[in-house]
């Protein structure tokens, strides 16, 4: 809400964002159509062409059902004590790759002075946080492997506040099912509570010893070496704890929700 009103101050910026919001589904749709066409052209499934619409919807539904089943399996497999491997500084990938659904020049510019991390949902203390206050909390650091859903991986060094410490500090209901994130680049995603409480899940404020740069998610990202890259939100503006499934930007388009590693 607050983000909206702030954005309307800059008409050009707002228009650009609206255009992207409107265009994104149209860009995605031809790909999805291609996905369905190819789905049916392979493996003799073309026989279903007599009932094309229901056939395609049926296949898509079945695949989504298996994906939701795989979410459950990943929840069962998830070991809260299993740590992702850590690496020496000499193994850090340089330069660490930039990756988003837009080019690096379109990464959002967040003003530190105006920035407030908003807290919502099943949380006792919903006061917003300034960056300076987050930096004043006890800090941790990790050198871990970031694995992208595309297959590539890169090793980076992130620092910040242990997310489990932060959740305890704000009095989050850790019995709730999900933690959701809203970002300055209109990205959004959500994670399971078990991963939120994992010791390597980091409310990240720095990269490689310096303030988290814009291309890696300034002012703050959530770093989880137990999840694929797209589950690690950048430019986080709001965190909320909920029992209602919040979905995510890529997840709503067909990427697996749990996205664990």
Partner 1 sequence: MSPTAVPAIHPPASRLPPVHPAWVRMSHALNALAVLVMVASGWRIYNASPLFGFTFPEAVTLGGWLAGALQWHFAAMWLLAGNGAAYLALNLATGRLFRRFLPLSPRGVLRDLAAALRGRLAHDDPRRYNQVQRLAYLFVMVDVALLVVSGLVLWKSVQFGMLRELMGGYEMARRVHFAAMAALVGFVVVHLAMVALVPRTLRAMVLGR
How many other C-beta atoms can be found within 10 angstroms of the C-beta atom of residue 142?
21
Question: Does 49 sit near partner 1 (CB under 8 A)?
Answer: no
Q: Which window, 30-38, 121-129, 133-141, 156-164, contacts partner 1 (CB under 8 A)?
A: 30-38
Structural tokens at position 228: 């694929």
Shortest distance in whole angstroms from residue 57 CB to partner 1: 14
Shortest distance in whole angstroms from residue 259 CB to partner 1: 10
Shortest distance in whole angstroms from residue 26 CB to partner 1: 15
**Choice from 14, 100, 140, 149 touching partner 1 (CB under 8 A):** 149
Indicate the residue among 51 and 148 with the shorter CB distance to partner 1: 148
Q: Which window, 35-43, 117-125, 165-173, 183-191, contacts partner 1 (CB under 8 A)?
A: 35-43
**Choice from 23, 46, 57, 83 touching partner 1 (CB under 8 A):** 83
Q: Which window, 62-70, 117-125, 182-190, 204-212, contacts partner 1 (CB under 8 A)?
A: 62-70
Question: Does 225 sit near partner 1 (CB under 8 A)?
Answer: yes
The two beta strands, 118-121 and 236-242, are: parallel
Indicate the residue among 200 and 237 with the shorter CB distance to partner 1: 200
Q: What is the 3-state secondary structure (H, E, C) of the chain?
A: CHHHHHHCCCHHHHHHHHHHHHHHHHHHHHHHHHHHHHHHHCCCHHHHHHHHHHHHHHHHHHHHHHHHHHHHHHHHHCCCCCCCCECCHHHCCCCCCCCCCCCHHHCCCCCCCCCCEEEEECECCCCCECHHHHHCCCCEEEEEEEECCCCCEEEEEEEEEEHHHHHHHCCECCCCCEEEEEECCCCEEEEEHHHHCCCCCEEEEEECCEECCHHHCCCCEEECCCECHHHCCCCEEEEEEECCCCCCCCHHHCCCCCCEC
Structural tokens at position 13: 């910026």
The two beta strands, 202-207 and 210-211, are: antiparallel
Q: Which window, 49-57, 106-114, 141-149, 173-181, contacts partner 1 (CB under 8 A)?
A: 141-149
Question: Does 136 sit near partner 1 (CB under 8 A)?
Answer: no
Question: Does 250 sit near partner 1 (CB under 8 A)?
Answer: yes
Question: Does 34 sit near partner 1 (CB under 8 A)?
Answer: yes
Question: Does 91 sit near partner 1 (CB under 8 A)?
Answer: no
Question: Does 43 sit near partner 1 (CB under 8 A)?
Answer: yes
**Choice from 57, 77, 104, 168 touching partner 1 (CB under 8 A):** 77
Question: Does 36 sit near partner 1 (CB under 8 A)?
Answer: yes
Q: Which window, 15-23, 26-34, 157-165, 178-186, contacts partner 1 (CB under 8 A)?
A: 26-34
């Amino acid at each position: 809400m607050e983000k909206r009103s702030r954005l309307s101050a800059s008409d050009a910026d707002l228009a650009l964002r609206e255009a992207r919001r409107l265009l994104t589904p149209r860009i995605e749709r031809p790909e999805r159509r291609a996905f369905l066409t190819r789905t049916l052209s392979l493996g003799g499934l073309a026989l279903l062409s007599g009932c094309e619409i229901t056939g395609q919807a049926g296949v898509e539904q079945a695949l989504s059902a298996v994906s939701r089943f795989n979410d459950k399996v990943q929840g069962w497999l998830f070991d809260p004590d299993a740590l992702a491997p850590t690496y020496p500084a000499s193994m850090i990938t340089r330069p660490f790759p930039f990756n988003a659904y837009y080019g690096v020049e379109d990464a959002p510019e967040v003003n530190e002075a105006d920035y407030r991390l908003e807290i919502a949902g099943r949380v006792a203390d919903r006061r917003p946080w300034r960056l300076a206050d987050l930096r004043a909390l006890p800090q941790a650091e990790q050198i871990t492997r970031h694995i992208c859903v595309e297959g590539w991986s890169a090793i980076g060094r992130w620092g910040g506040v242990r997310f489990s410490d932060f959740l305890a500090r704000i009095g989050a209901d850790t019995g709730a099912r999900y933690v959701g994130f809203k970002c300055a680049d209109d990205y959004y995603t959500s994670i399971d509570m078990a991963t939120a409480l994992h010791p390597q899940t980091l409310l990240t404020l720095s990269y490689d010893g310096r303030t988290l740069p814009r291309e890696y998610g300034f002012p703050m990202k959530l770093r989880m070496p137990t999840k694929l890259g797209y589950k690690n939100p950048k430019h986080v503006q709001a965190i909320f704890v909920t029992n209602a499934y919040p979905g995510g930007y890529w997840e709503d388009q067909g990427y697996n929700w749990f996205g664990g590693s």
